[in-house]
């Protein structure tokens, strides 16, 4: 009796692990969306400088600048707001699109794009003394 119960729970455990692995893999369940990092390294070093996004892709900006905080600004207004969702560390700006607060070293912000397209954005920098620059 105890052996049957142990075998049953063993099989359930194995099936649970296999199911988790299979369902946790976006390629297996048919999800095509991907997440792309953009590395902010300096005013002259944003990598990649051009990124083509498809429907459902997410983009994560990572600030790697030491001694400067970075702010990401979209100025496309309603087009941008209609074409994105799930903003993390982004907030609406006066044009109807998004901007971040200044991100310090290692901080991230992200958006999911619900449509493919070209989206222009700017990165502004601030030093601890309050000086600004754009990249």
- Structural contact between residues 70 and 102, judged by C-beta atoms closer than 8 angstroms: yes
What pLDDT score does 104 carry?
92
Q: Residue range 59-78: average pLDDT? A: 87
Closest by CA to 38, choosing from 67, 59, 65, is: 59
Hey, where are the domains in the chain? Answer: 1-31, 35-134
Architecture of domain 35-134: Sandwich (2.60)
Q: Which two tokens stand for residue 67?
A: 């001694």
d(CA 17, CA 28): 15
Confidence of residue 81 (pLDDT cuts 50, 70, 90): confident
Tokens 């493919």 sit on residue: 116
User: Which candidate, 123, 112, 111, 113, places its Cα nearest to that of 64?
Assistant: 123
| 91 or 20, higher pLDDT | 91
Average pLDDT, the chain: 78
State residue 76's pLDDT score: 75
For residues 47 and 107, the model is more confident at: 107
Distance of alpha carbon 7 from alpha carbon 3, whole angstroms: 6
Q: And the tokens for 1?
A: 């009796």
87-96 pLDDT, tens digit per residue, is 888 888 877 7
pLDDT of residue 29: 41
Q: What percent of the chain has pLDDT over 90?
A: 24
pLDDT at 67: 86
Q: What mean pLDDT comes out for the span 15-33?
A: 53
- The per-residue pLDDT for 110 is 93
**Using an 8 Å Cβ cutoff, are 35 and 86 in contact?**
no
C-alpha 69/C-alpha 133 separation (Å) is 10
């Amino acid at each position: 009796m105890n052996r049957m119960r142990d075998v049953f729970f063993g099989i359930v455990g194995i099936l649970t692990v296999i199911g988790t692995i299979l369902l946790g893999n976006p390629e297996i369940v048919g999800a095509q969306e991907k997440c792309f990092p953009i590395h902010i390294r300096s005013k002259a070093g944003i990598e990649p400088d051009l990124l083509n996004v498809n429907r459902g892709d997410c983009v994560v900006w990572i600030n790697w600048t030491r001694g400067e905080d970075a702010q990401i600004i979209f100025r496309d207004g309603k087009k941008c707001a209609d074409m994105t969702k799930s903003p993390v560390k982004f907030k609406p700006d006066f044009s109807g699109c998004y901007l971040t607060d200044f991100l310090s070293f290692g901080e991230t912000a992200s958006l999911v794009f619900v449509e493919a397209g070209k989206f222009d954005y700017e990165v502004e920098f601030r030093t601890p003394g309050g000086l600004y620059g754009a990249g």
